[in-house]
Amino acid sequence: MLGLASWGMGQSTVDNSNQYVLPVGSPDFYHGQSNASVTFDQHSVLLDGKRIMFFSGEFHPFRLPSPELWKDVLQKFKAAGFNGVSVYWHWGLTAPNSKEVRFTQHNDLAKFYQVAKDVGVLVIVRPGPYVNAETAGGGIPGWVSNIAGLARTNATDYKEAWLPYISGFAKETAPFQVIVSLQSINPSNASMQYPDGPVIAIQSENEFLTSSTAHITGLNEHMQDIIDTLRENGITKECGGQYAAAGLGKVDLYGWDGYPLGFNCDNPSSWAELSTQADTSHQRLNPAEPLALFEWQGGSFSYWSGPGYSECYQLINEQFANVFYKNNYAAEAAIQNLYMTYGGTNWGNMHTHTIYSSYESNTDPKLDELKLQGFFLHASPDYLTVGRIGNGTVGQEQHTVIPRIFIRLIYTLHEGCQLLRCEASHEYEDYRFELYFTSEYYVGGEYYYSEVWCHHACGRESKILVTNYPFGSSGLEYSTAEVATWATFDQVALELKATSKPTVLGSSSISVSTANKTAIISGTPSGITVVEVGNARVIVADKKTASGFWAPRLTGSHGFTQYDASPDVPSVLISGAYLVRDATAKGSTLALNGDINGTTTIDVFASSRFNSITWNGGPLHVVNSDIGSLRAQVAFPGQLNDVNIPVLEDLSWKCADSLPELSPDFDDSTWVVANKTSTKRPQKPLLNGKYVLYAGEYGFHAGQWVWRGHFAGNATGVQLAIQGGFSFGYSVFLNSYFLGSGQGSSHSQSGVDILQPVFNFTQDQLLPAENVLTVIHDSTGLNQDYNIDDEFKTPRGIRGYKLLSAGNNSLDFTEWRLAGNVGGEDAPDYVRGPYNEGGWWFERVGAHLPGYNDSSWKSCTPYDGIQNPGVTVYRTTLTLDLPRESDIPLAFDFTLDSAAPHRVLIYINGWQFGRFASSLGPQTSYPIPEGIVNHHGKNEILISLWALNAGGAKLVKLELNKRALIASSKSETSDIVSAPGWKELRG
């Protein structure tokens, strides 16, 4: 539990600037030694000489392939107190093959930068080429798995692979001119670009090590190659990696990542103890640079068959944010990026094999806590120059006699701060203890000294309590309540005269008295109370009420950039709205844009110049309230209460068999012949089959595949090794006979990603001449390459095979053929990209695409299902007409079913947006973003039902439901993402 922040007198911190290690070739961006727009010193980053706390959230635009919604996300980031965003860029999505790099659609760098610039959010961009991110290959394209060189090193063929991508990235980013470079430990790296664009940092590589640490040659050179490539292609300053020491790969600003609670969502109540070593490690490794947490735990991902994101939220909830992030502030963090803040979806087979479709972050429930922290950090620039002077319950003086309290003292030249928390993070129960400290202050030229004491509740809660805290031209001697933010509306300062009589408006639970030209506010807050003291107002609220406030800076304020979140920028305070996106002064009118989830009353605290308010362009009836605010009611549009979503079970469905390969007369002569007999991968084939049956060797890297092995002779059975990643599935057929199915297990359980079934043939299953063994299986995504050991090259396909025969050990298949996604690495869908489709019949003919003619299909529904093992696909059309100026997120909902296990793919308007495994889970709800689903027109839906058992399967539940009902001011210029349909791709 982190508590007290006591701001008082102290001595200057030690100047460590002479310990700064200049990177190779860096033009130097150290403050005081550089005239760059972005600089840094041991305390913080500075923009045009002004210190900023970089408080950001992680967002991956490629996980939200509806670019129009990027503005919506970034507006919410900014409203919630973030002044920055960190984004990965995905090599594999932008480079479908070795010949192309496409920064378009959901990979459009320039478009994202422009959105961030318009909103006023600073950007750290992390292009890799390796990003990890729980994504297929860690971002390395599938086609790179076929080269011999060790990835993530300076191997010649690996450099030749990433060079066009990083060069192209640099050229796209250069117009937003880069200024500095960072890197994160376990690491991250970066390079800064301001003020021409929003980008202030570029990270090269990710979670990387030096050669001496990893005992792998070529790592330092690889990092330096990336930095040099960025510079040579328009990033004229610097980039970064995890290198604090001098030499190749050294970056401008070294940083860290950390996941203090890991990913143990199975035990969400179990907390590790807080570490107090962050500042110590920082001072040991890079004392001349600010403490930069480029990737810090903002959530936890969930595994296949795991507990799900509701339990992950319980692990990384608002209590975690309260305690662990404030522990970072006690270590004087000046850059803090929370991973993830907007998670999105692993649509189109882009996930790695440990996780499933959802990449949720569960930020919403803890958004209130994050918002209050962000408001405070931006309102308290003196925090950025603090220095630590002690730990424990004693130091220059003792502040509590309770041994269960841990204290950290930090200070600036003019102010000090002591922070405390419970010694043990497993504390649940509240108890009260006494804090005491001294405060020295001056009022009107007179000197005062006071002793302050308070009682404080413990448990999984943290507080930052201030003394001698400056706001505007005034000061707060001390407070046993946390400060959220402050603003100067009419350029006045608190001036308490002997004759001044404070007034209290609102809740009667707060009182005020005066002594020694000081106003003392006491009580237990409930709702909103406004204390007017001289020319100042103090708004006192309980935490839940305070978290309902928004503090937008007035857009277009003269003399300030759109990125400036400091208290110098004119602003307003607003309570009562679900969301306030922005505020603009238009003469005496305050123009607000925001969202509501019901009729609400808003209170606006603002400059006296304002006497009218508009909400989303419409005028509001404004009155002067009893708490000194401008008050107005914002009505919820009545038509939103009448919104209904069609019932999917009532729609007209059609279906078709998606395993025509089982027909005796099926012709696979146009399929790829799988006839390789060797591979460059370190993962070699198992068993004694002649051919290498890895899908990636033949240009198919994602989705699902169909293999057909032809043989003749007296075979008695087959042994297979099938590899599809954790929790993958397979089915095997001999001619038209079903032999069996299986599923792998989760990383969090036994972690099976290879299954080795043996099937014995019976005489009635065999044909006298040629026989065909059909194997269908999916992939749950390519492995990542965290340990720099080419793990991402782990194959998907038939890892090995052996045809069994009595007395004939040389019997083998005469031929294997393979069907994967249409075009393989040269897939024609330039919008949805290389991972969206697989190789099953319905995908090959384009039945999932808009405009496909299903008139020959029969009428049937997934609710009735099938009585046999195999794959059947169902299509229907859904028309929506949801109100404009609304935000109504939709999701497909299923229910788990272990009795009749099945696997499902969800396609909507050609986009694969979910993979459901009925007996594994845990995901049962699949959100579909607006733009992928057309809220104002026709939608074409395809559901594939893969029954794994002989008895078949059906969908017990398939619904399309609303997740929220919001009257919204988000931008809306198109109904659906423009993407090719059946005519363009298959016609």
Select from 574, 602, 581, 616 the least CA-distant residue to 76.
581
Please list, residue by residue across 284-319, b when 16 or more beta carbons sit within 10 angstroms of its beta carbon and e when fewer do.
eebebbbbbbbbbbbbbbbbbbbbbbebbbbbbbbb
Whether 295 sits among the annotated catalytic residues: the reply is yes
| Integer-rounded Cα radius of gyration of the chain | 31
- Decide: 255 and 293 in contact? Cβ < 8 Å: yes
Select from 294, 254, 286, 261 the least CA-distant residue to 275.
261
**What's the sign of the alpha-carbon dihedral 143, 145, 149, 154?**
positive
Strands of the 333-342 sheet, one edge to the other: 188-190, 182-184, 253-258, 291-297, 333-342, 54-59, 84-88, 122-128, 199-204
* 167 token code pair: 């060069």
Residue type, 816: W
Q: What's the length of the chain? A: 987
**Residue 930 phi, psi (nearest 5):** -60, 140
Residues 6+ apart with CB under 8 A from 292: 182, 184, 253, 254, 255, 256, 333, 334, 335
172, 205, 207, 697: which is the annotated catalytic residue?
A: 207
Residue type, 259: Y
Task: For residue 922, say if its preceding peptide bond is cis, omega within 30 degrees of 0.
Answer: yes
Longest dimension (CA), the chain: 110
295, 311, 415, 837: which is the annotated catalytic residue?
A: 295
Please, which residues bridge with residue 123 across strands? Answer: 85, 199
- Distance between CA atoms of residues 342 and 57, nearest Å: 8
DSSP string, 921-964: -S--EEEE-BTTB-TTSEEEEEEEEEE-STT-B--S--EEEES-
* 327 token code pair: 């522990």
Residues 6+ apart with CB under 8 A from 637: 883, 885, 886, 967
Torsion of CA 341, 345, 350, 351, to 10 degrees: 70
- SS3 of 10-73: the string is CCCCCCCHHHCCCCCCCCCCECCCCCCCEEECCCCEEECCEEECEEEEEECHHHCCCCHHHHHH
Whether 289 sits among the annotated catalytic residues: the reply is no
Known catalytic residues are: 207, 295
